[in-house]
Amino acid sequence: MKDLKNKTVWITGASDGIGKELAIQLAALGAKIILTARSTDKLNAVKDTLKGTGHIVYPMDLLKVADIPKGVEEVLNQAGSIDVLINNAGISQRSLAKDTAIEVDRKIMELDYFAVVALTKGVLPQMLKRKSGHIVSISSVAGKFGPPMRSAYCGAKHAVIGFMDSLRAEVHNDNIKVLNVTPGSVKTNISVNALEGDGKKHNVTDPLIANGLPVEYCVKQIIKGIQKDTSELLIADTKTKMAVYLRRFFPNQLFKLMTRMQAT
What local confidence, expressed as pLDDT, does residue 67 receive?
96
Annotated catalytic, 113?
no
* pLDDT per residue as tens digits for the range 70-123: 999 999 999 999 999 999 999 999 999 999 999 999 999 999 999 999 999 999
Of 58, 153, 217, 245, which residue is the catalytic one? 153
| Separation CA 113–CA 152 (nearest Å) | 11
Summarize the chain as % helix, strand, coil (round to 5): 50, 15, 35
Picking from 112, 95, 99, 101, the residue whose alpha carbon sits closest to that of residue 204 is 95
In a domain? residue 185: yes
Report which DSSP code applies to 81: -
* pLDDT per residue as tens digits for the range 193-222: 999 999 999 999 989 899 999 999 999 999
* pLDDT per residue as tens digits for the range 139-153: 999 999 999 999 999
Rounded (10°) CA dihedral 121, 87, 11, 179: -100
Torsion region of 222: left, alpha or beta (phi above 0 gives left; psi -120 to 50 gives alpha):
alpha
In a domain? residue 42: yes
* pLDDT per residue as tens digits for the range 21-78: 999 999 999 999 999 999 999 999 999 999 999 999 999 999 999 999 999 999 999 9
How many domains are there within the chain?
1
CATH number of the CATH domain containing 137:
3.40.50.720
* pLDDT per residue as tens digits for the range 124-144: 999 999 999 999 999 999 999
What local confidence, expressed as pLDDT, does residue 264 receive?
64
What local confidence, expressed as pLDDT, does residue 261 receive?
77
Collapsing DSSP states into helix, strand and coil, what is residue 34? Answer: strand
In a domain? residue 116: yes
In a domain? residue 3: no
In a domain? residue 153: yes
Of 61 and 261, which is predicted with more confidence? Answer: 61
Prediction pTM value: 0.95
Domain that holds residue 95: 8-260
